């Protein structure tokens, strides 16, 4: 499911890498459950430029391709299992250290009931555990990341280290950047 933040993140990504416009084919409000009409229209209008997308909250996710050329060898990046994983994504930098940044990861629930929280760092900077919730047979865990951890080029290498003896299976990864601050305050 695409959220307004994921749509804004994808549009900002292509525009920041030189695209002149964002073209959406069959991108109807009815296909975006949970978006109100005003949010849908605001998100589409903001896709006109980086300047209008800039202040909006956005999210960049690690995704997979479902189209593979004949003879091409392709391995989807997720799910990934290991005691120490390194995953790379490219986001448009926050641009303002006051903007909240979060790493949102969904991991498979362990069959033995163990609930250790993996250690996460972004470009070598430790992230701070914020919260965890259970959903769809998995654990969704959120860490606060320093906004300056995202490189000037938007590159972000996440290191996810299992805090237990057994490996961790990561099913979903998002780098979320909150809305730009107004009047010197953080917004969520």
d(CA 180, CA 184) in angstroms, rounded, equals 9
The domain tally of the chain equals 2
**Residue 4: other Cβ atoms inside 10 A:** 21
Same-domain status, 94 and 162: yes
Same-domain status, 144 and 98: yes
Same-domain status, 158 and 92: yes
Same-domain status, 26 and 104: no
- The answer to whether position 143 is within a domain reads yes
* Residue among 69, 59, 67 at smallest CA distance from 9: 59
Residue 100, H or E segment: none
Name the band, by pLDDT with cuts 50, 70 and 90, for residue 152.
confident
Alpha-carbon distances, residue 65 vs 26, 61, 74 (angstroms):
19, 13, 9
Domain range for 91 is 80-177
Q: What is the pLDDT of residues 37-51, one digit of tens each?
A: 898 899 999 999 999
CB 103 within 8 A of CB 149: no
Q: What is the pLDDT of residues 124-138, one digit of tens each?
A: 999 999 999 987 888
Between these two residues, 31 and 12, which has the higher pLDDT value? 12
């Amino acid at each position: 499911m695409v959220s307004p933040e994921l749509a804004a993140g994808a549009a900002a990504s292509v525009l920041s890498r030189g695209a002149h416009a964002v073209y959406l084919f069959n991108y109807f409000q009815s296909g975006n459950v949970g978006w109100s009409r005003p949010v849908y229209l605001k998100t589409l209008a903001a896709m006109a430029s980086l300047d209008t997308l800039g202040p909006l909250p956005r999210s960049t996710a690690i995704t997979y391709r479902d189209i593979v050329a004949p003879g091409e060898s392709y391995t989807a990046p997720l799910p990934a299992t290991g005691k120490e994983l390194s995953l790379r994504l490219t986001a448009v930098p926050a641009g303002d250290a006051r903007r909240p940044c979060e790493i949102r990861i969904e991991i498979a629930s362990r069959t033995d009931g163990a609930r250790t929280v993996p250690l996460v760092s972004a470009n070598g900077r430790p992230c701070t555990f914020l919260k965890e919730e259970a959903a769809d047979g998995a654990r969704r865990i959120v860490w606060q990341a320093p906004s300056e951890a995202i490189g000037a080029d938007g590159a972000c290498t996440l290191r996810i280290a299992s805090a237990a003896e057994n490996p961790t299976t990561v099913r979903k990864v998002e780098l979320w950047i909150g809305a730009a601050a107004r009047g010197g305050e953080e917004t969520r």
